[in-house]
Structure 1
Amino acid sequence: MKIKEGMLNGPDIRRLINDDDFKNALSQNKSVDCNCVKAVIQNVLGIHRAENWSVLIEEMIHAFHKINVSMSLKVHFLHCHIDKFAEQSPCESDEHGERFHPIAANLEY
């Protein structure tokens, strides 16, 4: 899979996480950090939410800081307003998130 430097959207992230070449290219530490992101995608942003969803999000944020990854605007909002996430998430759909991405991408530098 060939990607450009910069921000990835939802489908790109899913393809990247499932790409065997990407998994093999990661060091042991970065592989663990990538697994944190994968856990959030599967257990928080999917149809079924894990009981420990807030712990998974905090681990992902910690992994981002550890490997010096810049957070997208959506991840930053999720981190800052994690207490509101549980009550607000039934109102959010994946389609809305995909429409929001191009707008947010223009705001980031």
Structure 2
Amino acid sequence: MSSFPIQVGGKWTAMIVLCLEDGPRRFGVLRQHLRPISAKVLAETLSAMERDGLVSRCPLIGADDGGVEYRLTSLGRTLLDVIEHMRAWARDNIDELTRARDSFDRADSTW
């Protein structure tokens, strides 16, 4: 049995990829776009993504605060197609998913 090398389905990975789709962003800007995420979880997720080669951490030249920005690598950009396929699948199957969840919730509430 082979293992799956990365957690593309992690709660924040896809959202971070989408936030970086149009170009690099600083940590604070990512946090603004991903409001419910804590600084700790964002830092851990970005670090894991950097380890996997999905994002790069680039120092901002001339920044007085020693700031950095995060950008998608070419490998990270390949996830944009994967995410779009997942979105299309969800759009195509939303009615069936909703019915299944409603059925499960009704059965679960009778316990």
TM-score (norm 1): 0.28
Please identify which structure carries the higher helix content: 1
TM-score (norm 2): 0.28
Please identify which structure carries the higher strand content: 2
